[in-house]
Structure 1
Amino acid sequence: MSQRTANAQALIQALDLQSHVEGGYFRRTYQADHREMLDTVGGPRYLMTSIYYLLTEQSPVGQFHFNHSDIVHFFHLGDPIEYSMIHADGSLETLVMGNDILAGQHLQMHVPGGIWKASRLLEGEHGFGLISEAVSPGFDFADMEMGDRRKLIAQFPQHRMLIEKLTRDAD
């Protein structure tokens, strides 16, 4: 095992992270259970939840997925992470989270609900990238849809290559 892999594994253990369905690793760190639940179209939700989210060389992609809630991302450490967001009108927005703010990287980023989002770990010296996400209304898997490659390509054919790169083949 390389030192980079060992460091990523040490973070997974230290933060008690589990595999995430979209790729990478996560753990819920907070839910606003001291507040009244919010009524949403999908049912009652916490006012806010937060997670750690880690991408590694072994799991470098958070596949395209759709969330109904707003999410604020906070970069912590490691290599930069590139986010690709496809808006309802088909426009593509790409941002890089990382600690080199003078090079245009972002320490925090807001992604409104209703956007298809994917992330990928960029090359770097660490072999991992660690962020946190604060979600409001609080995250519930019922409010998340994993991207279906064929459906996304049919809806956004101009982004075919990116969608193929950042989704799993359903076959």
Structure 2
Amino acid sequence: MACLFRTGETRSMTLSSTTQSIIDRLELAPLPVCNGYFRETWRDDHSTVIYWLMPATHRAGLHSAEYPEVYTYHAGTPLRFTLLYPNGELTEALLGPDPAAGHHPHLIVPPGVWQAADPTGEYTLASVVVAPPFRPDIVRTADAAELTRLHPRHAAAIRALS
């Protein structure tokens, strides 16, 4: 599995009953790339769409994709994204329900941008659209040493997110 827990993290793997109920109802399975639970709901020659549930027990470590990814919020608590752009810009964005609170109802992660995701509460349910269609080999897990060499001013964040 790629994109799992951050270095040195330990946490309970027990899901809440609400989270487990959503996983069961939507027939979600463990996502071997980037963590959480998913079910593909659409695939054609041009794109894929998945449900993606990130429970409080999981984190997506720093990774990038060759294709753009569009995340759309559905339910639960906001999901915190940390984004590291090729030019060295480091930003955070919350995928969530309340634009007045600074949340983004949908979030676009361009290709080649390093991303990590942390739930802010019990779970976040989102959809992810990838075009062209998703394949596991389009995802690259961060090499913390290489990213730190490229972006030394963000060394602490890179270590924490890898």
Q: Under a length normalisation based on structure 1, what TM-score does the superposition of the two structures give? A: 0.80
**2:18 is aligned with 1:7:** yes
Give the fraction of aligned pairs with identical amino acids, expressed as a percent. 29
Is there any run of 5+ residues in structure 1 with no aligned partner, and where?
Answer: 33-45
* Mapped partners of 1:24, 1:158: distance in 2: 30
RMSD, aligned CA: 1.7
* Mapped partners of 2:43, 2:99: distance in 1: 30
**2:123 is aligned with 1:128:** yes
Q: CA-to-partner distance for each residue in 1:130-161, whole Å, 9 max, x for gaps?
A: 11011111111111111123322232222222
Deviation at 1:93, TM superposition (A): 2.0
* Mapped partners of 1:96, 1:70: distance in 2: 18
Aligned length: 148
* Counterpart residue number, 1:31: 43
Task: Indicate the SS of the match to 1:151.
Answer: helix
* Counterpart residue number, 1:78: 76
Deviation at 1:113, TM superposition (A): 0.9
Answer with 1 or 2: which has the greater Rg: 1
* Counterpart residue number, 2:112: 114
Task: Indicate the SS of the match to 1:137.
Answer: coil
* Mapped partners of 1:9, 1:159: distance in 2: 36
Q: Under a length normalisation based on structure 2, what TM-score does the superposition of the two structures give? A: 0.84
* Mapped partners of 2:88, 2:98: distance in 1: 29
Partner letter of residue 151 of structure 1? E
* Counterpart residue number, 2:61: 63
Match of 2:146 among 123, 135, 151: 151
* Mapped partners of 2:155, 2:29: distance in 1: 30
- Name segments (4+ residues, structure 1) moved above 4 Å: none
* Counterpart residue number, 1:102: 100
Task: Indicate the SS of the match to 1:161.
Answer: helix
Q: Which of 130-139 and 19-28 deviates more?
A: 19-28
* Mapped partners of 1:27, 1:155: distance in 2: 35
Deviation at 1:105, TM superposition (A): 0.5
* Counterpart residue number, 1:37: none
* Counterpart residue number, 1:50: 49
* Counterpart residue number, 2:8: none
Partner letter of residue 99 of structure 1? P
Match of 1:139 among 127, 134, 139: 134
Task: Indicate the SS of the match to 2:104.
Answer: coil
Task: Indicate the SS of the match to 2:16.
Answer: helix
